[in-house]
Structure 1
Amino acid sequence: MYPGTWAATHPDKPALVMAGSGRTLTYAELDERSLRLARHLRSAGLRTGDVVALLSDNCPEAYEVYWACLRSGLYVTAVNHNLAPDEASYIVRDCGARALVVSGGKAALVAALDVDVPERLAYLGQVEGYADYEAALAAAGTDPLDEQPHGDDFLYSSGTTGRPKGVKVALPPIAVDEPGYSYVTIFGGLYGFGEDTVYLSPAPVYHAAPLRFGGVVHALGGTLVMMEKFDAEGALRAIQEHGVTHTQMVPTMFVRLLKLPDDVRTSYDVSSLRVVVHAAAPCPVEVKRRMIEWVGPIVQEYYASTEANGATMITSEQWLERPGSVGVALLGVLHICAEDGRELAPGEVGTVWFERDTVPFSYHNDPAKTAAAQHPEHPTWTTVGDLGYVDEDGFLFLTDRKAFMIISGGVNIYPQEIEDLFSLHPAVADIAVIGVPDEEMGERVVAFVQPAPSVDASPALADELTAYARERIAHYKVPREVHFRDELPRTPTGKMVKGGLREEYVAR
């Protein structure tokens, strides 16, 4: 199913509503405009398997581009508009885009791109060197496409530990109106998406989960309410005003909601919510416990990645029995392995692998990274580099990213544990813990802290935070240094970009 399915039965139903401006796109409009764009791209020479790059802020046109690609056998590569021009240019070049569609709201970044793409369109404003999107759609016509092979996304990892990696999968062997698209099949049933769904998407549309879940909502005939940009009270307002039934957030959004004054947070009616999904980054135990206490046992978590090589899921009830777990396998078979590839027993920390029938993905233009993600003895077992362990019942507990683990004096230290400790501390707005070179210990623990508003960054605060940690965790895990920054480099989807912090520290 796709927007055309619902345009035929509920043409005037809102497919997408912008939470701030109220701009609305009906199913009839989404179907027609995505069809016109698909015809334009076909006339520009794009064929099945070609790539369309999309550089956009959160707006309805982003899903017109998405569905134009998915209904005509094209890949859509959504580009992070917060990247520097050379980083965004790298993705557009690396994915081999034959067309580039941009938002006029990002004209400054677009003007600085260094790319050579034959077909260029711009909406919501004029951009030099780009054809007018509306004019292109008007000229395209609405004759049905001869065929509508199913396209897919072709996304890049967030690049928290290096250059973003393009994750490319084979196109689904189905037409766009046929069942079988994996995200619709898996998550549609898992979370009860349907025609009565009102889904709030508070995150940037360029990220995998918001883009894909919005597509699932449209495939199943619900309404997508998209925030222009997340703010805690604005999310509560949108839930109340639109009768939101489902939403997906990341843990940093939970933290911001919980740090709202109680009288503000409780003044909004959130009783319409049936499911609150979270993923993308580890959630501190106390944060999740307080969310469940507030909204009820409707908080569901899945663990997955842009690579979609496997997934786990856990309900509120299961989590309350096993705080900190991310659940049991939903897609693939879980394995925890040592550095040498040997499978470990329950309770032992190692690399998280998922076993599938075939290799589910490849890193575009990087066979070495693709090979490194495959198990040395079992090629269809793949990993994205996370560390964790399973209990006797197969529930997975994550400890950290392998790239972030600190080895100090021969002891493994997981920064996530230290960061979780401070997640709800009233003086801390955000924190990142990294390992830096140390001549004696190999590495030492360093914390970068973004103080809460109206809190002074001072030696006294550093001492207070150090004392707080020493009372609650083993002393060898306590940061040896605390550095303050006005803002930390976290992506809008909640992942901390630690590579830049480490480089900054070493350079100093």
Structure 2
Amino acid sequence: MTRSAHVDTFARDHLPPRDQWPEFVFDRPELQFPPQLNCATELLDRWVQRGEGARTAILGAGGLRWTYAELLAQANRVARVLVEDMKLVPGNRVLLRGANSPMLAACWLGVVKAGGIAVGTMPLLRARELTTIVDKAQVSHALCDRRLADELAATQAQCPTLKHVLHYGPHDAPDELEARMAGKPPTFADVPTAADDTVLIAFTSGTTGVPKGTMHFHRDVMAACACWPPHVLRPRADDVFIGSPPLAFTFGLGGLLLFPLAVGASTVLLEKATPEALLPAIAQYRASIVFTSPTAYRAMAAHAKEHDLSSLRKCVSAGEALPAATRQLWKEATGIEMIDGIGSTEMLHIFISADEAHAKPGATGVPVPGYQACVLDDEGRPLPKGQVGRLAVKGPTGCRYLADERQKVYVQHGWNVTGDAYLIDDDGQFVYQARTDDMIISGGYNIAGPEVEGALLLHPAVAECGVIGVPDAERGQIVKAFVVLKPGHEPGPAMAAELQDFVKRTIAPYKYPRAVEFRASLPRTETGKLQRFKLRDGG
């Protein structure tokens, strides 16, 4: 390991043992990184140093536009507030709470410049979920949109490590963070972090509903920028990126912040990028590259011809499997062949993909330059073409869970085993089959069935329950709950609606069961373990 700049050594102290790391592959010239590396310096400062500070960096609501020089100044001021006012030392974890916006981007970059570790969180998460994340990562600082303050306040009351919190507001309603930034110079000497210092902890739900923190280094961020974008996406400096995934998702962080900055392009950060809002926004901002989910593309296809999408040249789909019918529907509506891909929070971003010229309906693509992939049987042996097995991948990024025994499940014999079932077709393309665990992927969101079960069981009417994903034409899958009620409670539409609303109030609303079926009993083993496979099979 290189010379760490982290004074707070929590992250380094809680990395998995070295013998549990995947094999990392750095066999390309662009993946040779210097020992000391701060990815914010590379992504932001270097453009201004090269005299290109006047280029547009970020666009937001209400006509907000920041150049690279203005974004740099804002990020530098955030870094100064963190260090000078909030007493952050390198290695501290900083929770980021907010919908996509220019200020959230400045906060992320400011944390990185100051040597902190960014911990992004979905805006919809409740205090129950936030508390788990804060405790797991021992978060000490938070920068939060004022409109999300209540859940964070409830979290802070339960988390003694979370001592330093500042709020920011929409661009037309600044708050305490902006007030402190206003008194700071627009310069900052970026902390000379090591290439293998942790820069972000991205949380992903496990099949048990217990979140896993995935730890990524500064070099991982730059490796992600050096692999899929130049070889598959091929963005240009004059591109305008836009999309729906939150910056708290690594899919959104890469597609809507890291990748545009890496090539000197601009990005549009919208708080609400629903299919209904995304189409007019593409026209308004003359966006040329869009990132969203198959569910959103399907919804937008029906209205695409109502908007001027002539600026679009690249459409990226990820977050869930892309149905061939959705690919065809979008192409008929826009004339654009989608770029599909699979990535994971553990791998940081996309590692199997195909560009427009090699896109094949129903297939995800081939390993991105810099990565290797294969399909393994249950004994860890590579399978021949045409046989379904477990997807395994290795490259310059990989899984390092924060103090989690599940590291030994995800990493096997040097491979990252993603939990996806795939086969390789006769053309060498990887074709998605299913998830190999109990994760439900609905509308681009990963939802752990056991977590929804836990929320339902908090309701006084629920005796027991089981949650699975069931196929859905629009969302890929939806969450379905099988519920056994306690005596004295009547099943029916009113009770189903009551349980749905209860789940929305207890955990993130997108996790609620869209279908509820009442049962007299649930299938269980002799030891009482719920048999979800029987629920899937109609038992």
**TM-score, L = length of structure 1:** 0.74
- What is the match of residue 298 of structure 2? 255
How far does residue 436 in structure 1 lie from its aligned partner after superposition?
7.3
- Are 1:285 and 2:329 an aligned pair? no
In structure 2, the residue matched to 1:216 is: 259
- SS of aligned partner of 1:276: strand
Shift of 1:167: 0.3
Measure how far apart 1:154 and its partner are.
1.6
The residue that corresponds to 2:73 in the other structure is 32
In the other structure, the counterpart of 1:136 is: 180
2:212 matched to which residue of 1? 165
1:124 corresponds in structure 2 to 169
Correspondence 1:152 to 2:199: yes
CA spacing shift, 1:507–1:41, aligned 2, 3 Å: farther
Which residue is 1:360 aligned to? 398
Question: How far apart, in 1, do the equivalents of 2:83 and 2:429 lie?
Answer: 47
Which residue of structure 2 lines up, in the alignment, with residue 329 of structure 1? Answer: 367
CA distance in 1, matches of 2:66, 2:208: 37
Q: 1:170 to 1:3 in 2, by over 3 A?
A: closer
Is the CA contact (8 Å cut-off) linking 1:247 and 1:277 kept in structure 2? yes
Q: Percent identity?
A: 22
SS of residue paired to 1:157: strand
Q: Taking structure 1 as reference, are residues 230 and 143 closer, same or farther at Cα in structure 2, changes over 3 Å only?
A: closer
Alignment size in residue pairs: 425
Measure, in 2, the Cα distance between the counterparts of 1:15 and 1:351.
40
Query: Relative to 1, partners in 2 of residues 1:27 and 1:393: Cα closer, same or farther, differing over 3 Å?
Result: same
SS at match of 2:245: coil
* RMSD between superposed Cα atoms in Å: 3.7
- Specify the alignment match of 1:397 in structure 2: 431
From the superposition, tell whether residues 256 and 499 of structure 1 become closer, same or farther in structure 2 (CA, over 3 Å).
closer
Deviation per CA, 1:254-286, whole angstroms, max 9, x where unpaired?
1211244xxxx3121212111101101112210
CA distance in 1, matches of 2:293, 2:274: 13
Q: Read off the aligned partner of 1:162 and give its amino acid letter.
A: G
The residue that corresponds to 1:304 in the other structure is 343
One-letter amino acid of the counterpart of residue 94, structure 1? K
Instruction: Tell me how far apart the structure 1 counterparts of residues 502 and 378 of structure 2 sit (CA, whole Å).
Output: 31
CA displacement, residues 280-316 of structure 1 (integer Å, 9 cap, x when unaligned) = 1112210111112222344111111011177101134
Q: AA paired with 2:262?
A: A
Normalised TM-score (structure 2): 0.70
- Label 1:419 to 1:248 Cα distance change in 2 as closer, same or farther (>3 A): same
Contact (CA 8 Å) 2:207, 2:437: kept in 1 or not? Answer: no
**Structure 2 residues not aligned, in runs of 5+:** 1-41, 441-467, 484-491, 523-539
Mind listing any 5+ residue stretches in structure 1 that lack a counterpart?
A: 126-130, 174-179, 407-414, 424-428, 438-456, 459-482
Which of residues 222, 227, 237 in structure 2 aligns to 1:186? 227
Is 1:41 the counterpart of 2:85 in the alignment? Answer: no
Q: Identify the residue that residue 381 of structure 1 maps to in structure 2.
A: 415
Give yes or no for the alignment of 1:268 onto 2:319.
no
Distance 2:117 2:503 in 1: 29
RCO comparison, higher one (Cα < 8 Å, 6+): 2
Question: Does residue 199 in structure 1 map to residue 233 in structure 2?
Answer: no
Comparing 212-221 with 241-250, which one deviates more in the overlay?
212-221
CA spacing shift, 1:239–1:507, aligned 2, 3 Å: farther
Compute the displacement of 1:504 (Å). Answer: 8.5
Match of 2:153 in 1: 111
User: Is the Cα contact below 8 Å between 2:90 and 2:116 reproduced in 1?
Assistant: yes
Measure the CA separation in 1 of the matches of 2:501 and 2:340. 27
Tell me the SS of whatever aligns to 2:418. Answer: coil
| Pair 143,258 (structure 1): closer, same or farther in 2 beyond 3 Å | closer
